[in-house]
Amino acid sequence: MLYKTYTAYGFTEPKGQLKKLEVKWKDPQKNEVVVKVLACGVCGSDDVVQDQAFPTGLPRIPGHEIVGDVAAVHPTETRFKVGDRVAAGWHGGHCFSCQQCLEGDFVLCEKADINGIIRDGGYAEYATLRTECLFHVPKDLDPAETAPLVCAGITAFNSLRNMDTTPGDLVAVQGIGGVGHLAIQYAKAMGFRTVAISSSDSKREIAQRLGATHFIDASKGSVGQALQQLGGARVVMCNAPNTKAMEDALMGLRPKGQLLLIALDRGAVTVPIFPLVSKRISVRGWAVGTVKDNIDCIAFSQLAGIKCLVERFPLDKAQEAYDHRASAKFRAVIVP
């Protein structure tokens, strides 16, 4: 036992604010390790806990973009040792026995564990995590810049590399925020002609600096028409939770184009049947990835010089960080 208690911030009631908690130390069980949190990104989907969009149990400590050092292990542990630098994302564990697990697609496990949602996460000095969701990360990487890669980064990277695309294709990124500013960089590094789409002209300069070859200001007219003037997009990645914008962007797809839905939105997208059929357009959703996908994402990010732009907040400013989750340039990160 390292400490009797440690500090965390969690939600204790639906729609409430984050509260300071003193958490009783527990030694890790078999197939668990305790991680000293060095950085935890703040994700828009953390509001699942606050809103109780589905019952997570309360109190609950959110946070699923975690980088830290292993502080304690079970006596039977063989993969990790105290002092190892590790990371974990949304995927917090799996059952190993359902059909999806047998196929190796652990993220779609029927009984998937989720860090910061089903189990306590990284808004804390320490987090107890399942070993199958953990992977080693190089110690020369900045923890605060690395943490968002295990959710925002992998969502952009892994979805793009799984689309039906060829280098040189036109890929449009709608919404230039925590995921979008990374998606622009990944699309450029993968060899796509990259279009940034924003609701105003204010992010034109940063989008171009990140690698966008074209910029569309959605406030000036139809995004679909603007994309068609560029030849039509092979992929439009929708990062902003705006169903009307998604529907408009769909009209900018070329034949066999793909509308890639990343943003979580409780609304519905209306898809016109005629272009869907006549142009063989598809609508796809994607979220995060497995441990192997995370390892690939971080390795590619290092190779291509992908950089997550972050604003850092100490743990005692967790509520402020949470309040900035949508307005940070471009990712709020708690650094206990």
| CATH 3.90.180.10 residue spans of the chain | 5-149+289-334
pLDDT of residue 183: 97
CB 137 within 8 A of CB 87: yes
pLDDT of residue 1: 62
* The pairing of beta strand 65-73 with beta strand 135-136: unpaired
pLDDT of residue 264: 77
CATH superfamily name and code, 5-149+289-334: Medium-chain alcohol dehydrogenases, catalytic domain (3.90.180.10)
Q: Which helix (H) or strand (E) element contains residue 191?
A: none
Q: pLDDT over 90 for what percent of the chain?
A: 88
| CATH 3.40.50.720 residue spans of the chain | 153-285
| Contacting residues for 324 by C-beta, under 8 A, at least 6 apart | 42, 311, 313, 332
The rounded distance, in Å, linking the Cα atoms of 143 and 324 is: 19
DSSP state, residue 235? E
3-state secondary structure 236-277: EEECCCCHHHHHHHHCCEEEEEEEEECCCCCCCCCCCHHHHH
Q: Which two tokens stand for residue 239?
A: 């990062």
CB 121 within 8 A of CB 63: yes
Q: In this predicted model, what pLDDT tens digit does every residue of 145-193 receive, in sequence order?
A: 999 999 999 999 999 999 999 999 999 999 999 999 999 999 999 999 9
Q: In this predicted model, what pLDDT tens digit does every residue of 58-109 receive, in sequence order?
A: 999 999 999 999 999 999 999 999 999 999 999 999 999 999 999 999 999 9
pLDDT of residue 54: 82
Beta bridge partners of 69: 36, 85
Poorest-pLDDT segment among 97-111, 216-230, 238-252: 238-252
- Rg of the chain over CA atoms, in angstroms? 20
Fold held by 153-285: Rossmann fold (3.40.50)
Length of the chain counted residue by residue: 336
In degrees and rounded to multiples of 5, residue 259 shows phi and psi of -90, 115
Q: Which two tokens stand for residue 17?
A: 């604010």
